[in-house]
Amino acid sequence: QMQQPILSSMTVKFFSAWFCPYAQRAWIALEHHQIPYEYVESLTVNKNQDEGNHGYEKNARLLELNPKGLVPTLEFPHSMIKNSKVNKDKLTVVNDALVMTESIDCIEFLNSMADKKDEQDLIPDLTLLSDAKTYNERVCSTFYRVLMKPTEEEQKEAFGVFVRNVAEYTNDVQDDGFYKCSSPTIVDFTVIPYLLRIILIKHYRPTFDFLEFTSEACLEKLNSYVKRMKSVPAVQKTLWEDEKALIEVYRRYADGTATSQVGQAVRSGKNAHDV
């Protein structure tokens, strides 16, 4: 049996999956605050979605720390947290490890750990935390419904809701800036992984047109915001190398065969954010 590498006393172990938007949120926050981490690729998609753990082969240590086997999962050495003034309420203790799960909680926690200057604080105002949770439901969960609803009519209806919610979000993005701020916030880092994945909707639902549900001006503003976010160094470091590979990974959502926990929830009429 392979021994687990011992964490350096100041390194976070980051259990992730390169294609997962939830994991990308925590990854961007780690990069933004330049917190030392070890990246552990933890999910391999099975060709046969009825095999494995919800259609994946999952890292054994991930399953020890987080029995749901969801990413992101962060493992902290005790010494990293011990003298810190962070709120430890959402940390769970698993044997010798301190563990944080849930992507928005991860961003909030990493933000509280960091030595930050004003423009680096991702939550300069507490209302941004509730906005992040709101848009997690309105934008991110709706994204999966566009791909996974069984009929074209339902997919189109979900797409209309998705576009209108993205337009509402875009409305609060500052010209040449970010969500309600001149520097990125927890809301930007919560939503951007899904805006970057609009390419998947374009690929799998090619007849759906944004302009049916929003204005050209709004679409232009959205496109320039996404471009601006892509040039943020912390976001840049988390982008996939191969768009075709990303499209392939999402095929199981678009053809309705995904057995991941998100896939099963959306298929049964629940929301992705309830997983």
Report the predicted TM-score, pTM, of the whole model to 2 decimal places. 0.91
Q: What is the pLDDT of residues 190-231, one digit of tens each?
A: 999 999 999 999 999 999 999 999 999 999 999 999 999 999
Query: Burial, 39: exposed, middle or buried (Cβ in 10 Å; 0-12, 13-18, 19+)?
Result: middle
Mark out the alpha helices in 87-185 (DSSP H runs).
103-113, 127-135, 141-148, 152-171
Q: What is the pLDDT of residues 164-201, one digit of tens each?
A: 999 999 999 999 999 999 999 999 999 999 999 999 99
> Which residue in this structure is represented by tokens 């939503």?
191
The pLDDT confidence band at residue 97, using thresholds 50, 70 and 90, is confident
Distance CA 267, CA 106 (A): 27
Per-residue pLDDT band at 3 (split at 50, 70, 90) = very low
